[in-house]
Chains A and B, each alone.
Chain A
Amino acid sequence: MSENKQNSAPKSYLEETGGRKGIFKWILSTDHKRIGLLYLYSIMAWFFIGVTLGVLMKLELIAPGKTIMGAQSYNATFTVHGVIMIFLVVIPGLPAVFGNFMLPIQIGAKDVAFPKLNLLSWYIYIAGSILVVSSLFAGGGPPDTGWTFYAPYSFKTGTNMLPAVLGAFVLGFSSILTGLNFIVTTHRLRAPGMSWMKLPVFPWAIYGTAWIQLLATPIVGITLLMVLGERIFNIGFFDPAKGGDPILFQHLFWIYSHPAVYIMILPAMGAISEIIPTFSKKTIFGYRFIVFSTLAIAFVGYFVWGHHMFTSGMSGTALFTFSILTFIVAIPSAIKVFNWVATMHQGSISTDVPFLWAASFIFVFLVGGLTGLVLGALATNVHLHDTAFVVGHFHFIVFGGTGFAFFGALHYWFPKIYGKMYDRSWAKTGWAIFFVGYIALYMPMFFLGVMGMPRRYFDYLPEYHGPNIISSLGALVMVTGFVIMVINLFRAVKTGEKAPQNPWGGTNLEWQISSPPTLENFDEIPTIDKATYKYD
């Protein structure tokens, strides 16, 4: 390359400001990469708040009786913790951050199909979060229903349900528009030669997720509108005193919220499916199986919502059907675990930071999935429903699964996103402390649940004290690891050494462009002629 060419080489997207200054080069840019980072920073901010609330709860539970807060504050804390973590952190999570950043690049496109709509989705997200947070400060006190907003309590309680419910509704819009954008992008903007069966697994996962976002979110949207109708107009849809059926609310809520857990986990699985082959230097095992299991999860996941309602008084027929369907939906998840392990088998594994996150993901996901089966069986569910066991289960999957995959993806794509490399030994230290703290925090909950400790109480009987101490201390350890990780990444953005184009030896398109990418990602739209994940 001649001297001249070097100089006129296009600037990276971080340097390309479009003539805007300061914060405006972020909040006015329609570049999918900048929007991805906008989401990253906003989601991280909410995550900090959510973690703080979580730690406060753990401190309350470090000893029986009132420790640092009373019943009402505790109810408000777990509600706001849940709403923030579910609606503001994990649901947008991977799709909005890494989907935005990587989907166009991995399919060989310059941007998403509707860049302006993409930016609008972020604004809607922010509007929704402001509404949610305003519920903390306005009049009647923070909401205290739990993130599930169960009727009839959600329209009988005097606390600030309106802004919280409206906020969740608005956030749903953001999620829908993002999903819509990604589906059109995947259909229309794949580079020449990028047939569906050459699509890497992460875009596939984002695509499957986008369909769930699109098709499930409206149901919770209308349900929340109905709750608003109850509160404002006193209609009676879910009010037993007027003939309404609160169990119908549970149906409608879970028709969305079970698929929503797949909004959280599918992209996580997709990211893991990128990391594992790269660090095993081996083609992913059973590409077709992984793709089809992604679609199967997205599809069957729509029909199992009733497993959250086994003790609600549903008909026997429904109990039976939902239990069977729940067992069926575990199969594609198990296929994926099998495929990951088979990919590693006889590969030349390098235990670099992203791989450590991915490997620990597989472990915690396995625990989460198996305890899910315990809960999916009718007989055991009756004993375990609404105990600490459920809290253990979903944290193992939502936090252990989605969270670990998020951090893994962050460490995997960090050099591409910022063009900088982080300190790997600190990153490993952070991971190790986090992992140990994590296990100590959530493992005891399974035992507590089996012993019969109910969830969502600020107090417990003295016989539950032992495991609760371990759990609370684990929370502190985990947060320490988390802080180390964040500081390490922050330092890398500021002072990290320059990262090469392809630090891990990955094979997908994102590793064939500069780090960080240019504004348009590719000088020329690539033509794809070989299969994905080919290592020679």
Chain B
Amino acid sequence: MSVVHRDDIGSKLGMWLFIFTEILLFGGLFITYVVYRYLHQEAFHLASQELDVAIGTINTIILLISSATIAMSITAIQQKKKKLTLALIATTILLAIVFLVNKYFEWGAKFEHGIFPGSEYLDQLGFGDVLFFGLYFFMTGLHAFHIIIGIAVLGFMYYYVKTDRLTHDNFQLLENGGLYWHLVDLIWIFLFPLFYLIA
């Protein structure tokens, strides 16, 4: 190979393009949501009351904070503050885990009430509820899957910073990891009102 030259903007562009594909991936689900919400307004309204706004709000704030901490880690690494960078990444990962734990209990409670895709109880509730909860589980599930991937990505970032593979003049990878994490946050910013706040 020739001189390997680094192209930070190219790398960032690649990350953004990937983010666009994610936006469209969820876009397909948003289309579905809009259509079924329109066809079953009343039922969506009522079904949404089943969700716990408090947990939803807490989770939203958790994700927002984690988004801020990972953003700050990029400032920290540029200021050559390795310890602070690591601490910020670790905080982000921690918050992500708390988010998942909350989600686990939230889903668990629903399952206990017999609300899960394909359950007999849900089928009795009617079309609107089937679709609302179908979308709820599918979309928040896919989102949670992205959080898990995000945790893995940030774990790598932590390791790279720790081993000095990412430094103050070579941190594009960390920025890309951050971008991915903000995307996860962005999607949640929309999921939250669509599912919790339409009651």
Contacts and interface: CB of A to CB of B under 8 A. Distances in A.
Q: A–B direct touch, CB within 8 Å, in complex?
A: yes
Which has the most chain B C-beta neighbours within 10 Å: A221, A226, A236?
A: A236
A370 interface: no
A114 B7 CA distance: 11
A222 B182 CA distance: 21
Residues of B in contact with A, size category: 35 or more
Contacts of B26: 222
Nearest to B39: A245
Nearest to A110: B2
B138 interface: yes
A46 B176 CA distance: 37
A252 B28 contact: yes
Given A180-B14, A187-B10, A219-B27, A235 B32 contact: no
A243 B36 CA distance: 9
B150 interface: no
B118 A235 contact: yes
A114 B35 CA distance: 39
Contact of B22 (A218, A229, A236, A244): A218
Contacts of A255: 28, 31
Given A113-B14, A188-B9, A252-B28, 14 more contacts: A110-B2, A184-B14, A188-B7, A189-B10, A214-B17, A215-B21, A226-B28, A226-B138, A236-B130, A237-B138, A245-B39, A248-B35, A252-B31, A255-B28
Contact of A113 (B10, B24, B32): B10
Nearest to A183: B17
A219 B126 CA distance: 28
Interface string B1-41: 01000010110011001101110111111011001100110
B116 to A, nearest CB: 8
30 contacts: A176-B21, A180-B14, A180-B18, A184-B13, A189-B10, A214-B17, A214-B20, A214-B21, A215-B24, A216-B24, A218-B25, A219-B25, A219-B28, A222-B25, A222-B28, A226-B32, A229-B138, A233-B118, A234-B118, A236-B117, A237-B32, A237-B131, A242-B130, A242-B131, A243-B128, A244-B131, A245-B39, A248-B32, A248-B35, A252-B28
A251 interface: yes
B14 A243 contact: no
A352 interface: no
Contact of B24 (A189, A218, A520): A218
A468 interface: no
Contact of B27 (A114, A218, A226): A218
Contacts of A251: 31
A402 interface: no
B71 to A, nearest CB: 24
Interface in B86-136: 117-118, 123, 126-128, 130-131, 134-135
Closest 8 pairs (CB-CB, A-B): A243-B127, A234-B118, A222-B28, A218-B24, A188-B10, A218-B25, A235-B134, A233-B117
A283 interface: no
Contacts of B20: 214-215
A101 B17 CA distance: 22
Interface in A212-271: 214-219, 221-223, 225-226, 229, 233-237, 242-245, 248, 251-252, 255
Interface in B31-68: 31-32, 35-36, 39-40
Contacts of B24: 215-216, 218-219
Contacts of B131: 236-237, 242-244
Contacts of B22: 218
Interface residues of A, number: 38
B189 to A, nearest CB: 19
B26 to A, nearest CB: 8
Given A233-B118, A236-B131, A243-B130, A218 B13 contact: no
A183 B31 CA distance: 27
A206 to B, nearest CB: 15
A181 B10 CA distance: 10
A244 B26 CA distance: 19
B29 A222 contact: yes
A180 B40 CA distance: 38
Interface in B125-174: 126-128, 130-131, 134-135, 137-138, 142
B14 A114 contact: yes
B75 to A, nearest CB: 26
A114 B14 CA distance: 9
Contact of A243 (B9, B28, B29, B40): B40
Contacts of A237: 32, 131, 134-135, 138
Which has the most chain B C-beta neighbours within 10 Å: A217, A225, A235, A244?
A: A235
Interface string A402-431: 000000000000000000000000000000
A113 B7 contact: yes
A214 B118 CA distance: 33
A215 B24 CA distance: 7
A183 B13 contact: yes
A223 B14 contact: no
Contact of B13 (A188, A234, A242): A188
